[in-house]
Amino acid sequence: MLKKMESLGNISGGQILVLLLLTSLITAAVEAGTATINLNTEKQTIRGFGGMTFPRWGRGFTDVNNQVDTVFGNGPGQIGLTIMRIDVPPDNNGGTNWSLALPSAQRAINNHGAIVFASPWSPPPSMKTNGSTTNGGSLKTDSYGAFATYLSDFANYFSSNGAPLYAISVQNEPDVTVTYESCSWTSTQMKNFLANNASVIPTRVMAAESYQFFHSFTDPILNDSSAEPNTDIIAGHIYGGGLADYPLARSKGKEVWMTEHYTESAQDGNVWPLALDVGKEIHDCMAANMNAYVWWYIRRYYGPMGESGNITKRGNCMSHFAKFARPGFVRVDATASPQANVYVTAYASNSDSNLVIVAVNKNTSSQSVTFSLSGGSCSSYTKYETSSSNSLSNMGSVGSTNTLAASSINTFVGTVLYGDLNNDGRVDFKDFAILGQGWLTVYGVDTLADIADNWLYGT
């Protein structure tokens, strides 16, 4: 380096410093990845983000009102989840079991506008081939109608008590045999149940919650002319695999939900950067065109809420999506990985001009990213960061080029100026000139007058 500096001859020390500064700026610009966000290319509608409360198994809320508010509220110090999953108990036990999750569901729906869906781990034992709620077994063929009525009664119970279910599942993980509460189904059995019995269920029906989201389980359902119309949501879990786009489900007009997973359970939900894994996983699910992401237990030491009711770092990571990409937002096309280990998704509101960008940096060093919009412009964003030193912290107003802290998840919220075709921060005659040139190209003519002639006279 000294020899190089000596070769600069009579250049002053100040000039050398300027050259070094310019070099570093150029290097930084080169290293900054660009995430192109195309506002005109819409993907899936976001239904929400959520988790499971399971009071029958001792994994419910211990202070229902306050803890449900913390999880499903969207104010300061709240996570902002919008989906609650509960279980369908295999017996009502004189009215006790069905009512266990009711207060939580009532609070989430009526105070926070959340949606609630329910999954059975097992039908009542009298309806099963092994006479037990555990160790698998199957639903007796002659009990299909009775089980559909059972699910219908459960949905009606919640509805009549002020907590209408958004959907109900046929079975949790029908394709894996375990010793706890469970029931085994083949794809054909579930297809037949949906085709012949599910129409009596008074809410949306979800299938099949395969433990590894095997499309081979739900493909026959989607391709069956009687089962498909009775199936509203295609759901699955991603234990050990299954995180992938599902074109067939989308082609049938079905929403695709990831309804259970946890990234690990050995460590506390505040261990960093381990907790960041859920941010990357949600990114992957959204990039795979899933409409919803649902974590396993909400209140658990490794979950979004700790045992004492505190929000964990994992909960902060979920908030980066849940608090900002609200139900009804639409994911828009974005460069998924503008540089190594940096992951970007973007969401636009159809009711206003809000744009939400979530950027995950899995690198152990800070990274620079630039957001380049197509179809509109955004001059500034409010940035929120969760990292080793911040927890969903408001980092203030920023521009289009930003530094992502090492091992961090970041949300950028801005207002889009639509019609700004040349991205200069305003809509003016220059944008109309671009639009006019586009018309000329489409019509294959030379002037706007030629387009008018085409419209008026067909020439």
- In degrees rounded to 5, what are phi and psi of residue 303? -95, -170
* Stretch (H or E) spanning 99: helix 96-99
Enumerate residues 6+ apart whose C-beta is below 8 A from 444. none
Peptide bond into 249 cis (omega under 30): no
Q: How far apart are CA 413 and CA 344, in angstroms?
A: 13
Peptide bond into 304 cis (omega under 30): no
Catalytic residue among 173, 228, 255, 385: 173
Q: How far apart are CA 71 and CA 81, in angstroms?
A: 6
Q: Which two tokens stand for residue 229?
A: 């119309």
Q: How far apart are CA 226 and CA 208, in angstroms?
A: 16
Cα angle, residue 437 at apex, residues 434 and 438 outer, rounded to 5°:
90
* Stretch (H or E) spanning 207: strand 204-210
Catalytic residue status for 307: no
Enumerate residues 6+ apart whose C-beta is below 8 A from 125. 90, 91, 131, 132, 133
| DSSP conformation letters of 108-138 | HHHHH--EEEEEES---GGGBTTSSSBS---
Find out whether 187 and 218 touch, Cβ atoms under 8 Å: yes
Catalytic residue status for 228: no
Helices (H) and strands (E) in the chain, counts: 13, 19
Beta partners for 409?
360, 386
Q: Of 100, 113, 114, which is closest to residue 64 (Cα–Cα)?
A: 100
- In degrees rounded to 5, what are phi and psi of residue 101? -90, -5
Catalytic residue among 181, 260, 281, 385: 260
- In degrees rounded to 5, what are phi and psi of residue 333? -65, 135
Q: Which two tokens stand for residue 169?
A: 């599942």
In which residue are the tokens 């950028």 written?
412
Q: How far apart are CA 169 and CA 234, in angstroms?
A: 10
Enumerate residues 6+ apart whose C-beta is below 8 A from 224. 191, 194, 195
Q: Give whole-number Cα distances, 208 to 121, 177, 191, 232, in Å.
A: 12, 15, 10, 11
Find out whether 262 and 16 touch, Cβ atoms under 8 Å: no
Catalytically active residues are 173, 260
